[in-house]
Amino acid sequence: MKNVPILAGVAGWPVTYSLSPVIHSTWAHRANINGYYIPIAIEPTEDDFRAVIAGLRKVGFAGINVTKPHKENALRIADDASGTAKSAGAANMLTFREDHIYADNSDVVGFANAVKDHTDQPGDHGVILGAGGAARGVILALKELGIQKITITNRTREKAEALAAEFGLAVVDWDKRSEVLDGADLLVNTTSLGMTGQPPLEIDLSPLKSKSVIADIVYSPLETPLLRAAKNHHTIDGLAMLMHQAVPGFEQWFRGNAKVDEDLKNILLKEI
Ligand code: ATR
């Protein structure tokens, strides 16, 4: 049976533009691993998700990454989950073990490692823009990085307040998003503002210290209006997180070495 290829993939709706197959194929090719990683389109209901997952298990998939809109479904249908996935309230990885499905969340370590690539000392104060699903993962990552004070701001203040109560954060009004940058060490955009087809994120970066780091989890376009305005600061783009979040899945399912480097980034840049 040694020629049976390893199967994995990414499930979402839509998944047509996912870069994950390129990332995993590149690593599989580098490590000479016999495996396939494919996009799997699953319509947005939990029933559809459950049905397709059952089929994937039956045909022998090792596991899958999960993206929008199924990250909460993934956690719900799993038999067991990591503490990170439970705290995030979402899973972007499902591993199919013999008798159960295990959910994990590598978005958290993905963002933390993207920051670590830039600095060993991310500072004491992080500011997060947005309070959706992506913000939850970033909050956990900032905590893992040892950032003491986290301030959150969101257009809909109640959503920021709910996360603040859950995770012990400070909240400021969306209208005060520039003022709160005074003294911040790390600014992270988790909103969809700046994404292709969305309005740009409007924010005055002048209160930031010159050594502060600015991160955007949006990767289409790679240079968002925020990152373009941040030319005088260290910046982290959305591809950094995307590449790092893929590492745990590749290591678990394909059992090979997954390295995030400039070569991989250049391959992805050709696909954007
Ligand atoms: P994700 O899972 O990627 O975080 P989401 O849960 O839909 O996606 O969250 C999108 C985030 O972008 C939210 O914080 C949203 O703000 P609201 O909670 O007020 O909806 C933010 N967002 C989207 N469009 C926005 C806009 N035009 N102005 C300000 N914030 C916006």
Residue of minimum CA distance from atom 7 in ligand 1: 132
Nearest atom of ligand 1 to the alpha carbon of 134:
4
pLDDT at site 89: 96
Same-domain status, 124 and 185:
yes
Residue of minimum CA distance from atom 9 in ligand 1: 132
Q: Helices 262-269 and 238-253, interaxial angle, to 10°?
A: 110
- Which one, of 65, 27, 31, 8, lies nearest residue 267 by Cα? 27
1 lies in a domain?
A: no
Alpha helices in 78-234 (DSSP H): 83-88, 106-116, 133-144, 157-167, 225-229
**Residue 212: domain span:** 109-236
C-alpha–C-alpha distance, residues 233 and 240, integer Å: 16
Same-domain status, 29 and 122:
no
Same-domain status, 151 and 88:
no
Alpha helices in 59-132 (DSSP H): 71-77, 83-88, 106-116
Pocket test for ligand 1, best of 71, 73, 155 (most atoms within 8 A of CB): 155
Q: How far is the CA of 201 from the centre of ligand 1 (A)?
A: 11
200 C-beta neighbours (distance < 10 Å), count = 13
C-alpha–C-alpha distance, residues 261 and 29, integer Å: 15
Q: What is the CATH number of the domain that holds 256?
A: 3.40.50.10860
Q: How far is the CA of 68 from the centre of ligand 1 (A)?
A: 14
86 is catalytic: no
How much is the ipTM here? 0.97
Give 36's strand partners: 7
Same-domain status, 129 and 227:
yes
Nearest atom of ligand 1 to the alpha carbon of 68:
2
Spot the catalytic one: 2, 58, 68, 71: 71
Same-domain status, 126 and 85:
no
Q: Is 170 exposed, middle or buried (0-12, 13-18, 19+ CB in 10 A)?
A: middle
Q: How far is the CA of 13 from the centre of ligand 1 (A)?
A: 18
C-alpha–C-alpha distance, residues 61 and 160, integer Å: 38
Same-domain status, 139 and 93:
no
Nearest atom of ligand 1 to the alpha carbon of 160:
18
pLDDT at site 204: 97
* Phi (first) and psi of residue 77, to 5 degrees: -85, -10
Stated pTM of the model = 0.96
Same-domain status, 207 and 114:
yes
- Answer yes or no: are the C-beta atoms of 178 and 204 closer than 8 Å: yes
- Reading the chain (272 residues) residue by residue, the pLDDT tens digits are 567 999 999 999 999 989 999 999 999 999 999 999 999 999 999 999 999 999 999 999 999 999 999 999 999 999 999 999 999 999 999 999 999 999 999 999 999 999 999 998 999 999 999 999 999 999 999 999 999 999 999 999 999 999 999 999 999 999 999 999 999 999 999 999 999 999 999 999 999 999 999 999 999 999 999 999 999 999 999 999 999 999 999 999 999 999 999 999 999 999 98
Q: How far is the CA of 250 from the centre of ligand 1 (A)?
A: 30
Residues at CB less than 6 angstroms from ligand 1: 130-135, 154-156, 159, 190-193, 199
Same-domain status, 134 and 232:
yes
- Answer yes or no: are the C-beta atoms of 245 and 137 closer than 8 Å: no
* Phi (first) and psi of residue 228, to 5 degrees: -65, -40
Residue of minimum CA distance from atom 3 in ligand 1: 134
256 lies in a domain?
A: yes
| Number of independent structural domains in the chain | 2
Q: What is the CATH number of the domain that holds 218?
A: 3.40.50.720
Q: How far is the CA of 190 from the centre of ligand 1 (A)?
A: 8
Task: Count how many residues are written for the chain.
Answer: 272
pLDDT at site 58: 97
C-alpha–C-alpha distance, residues 193 and 191, integer Å: 5
pLDDT at site 272: 87
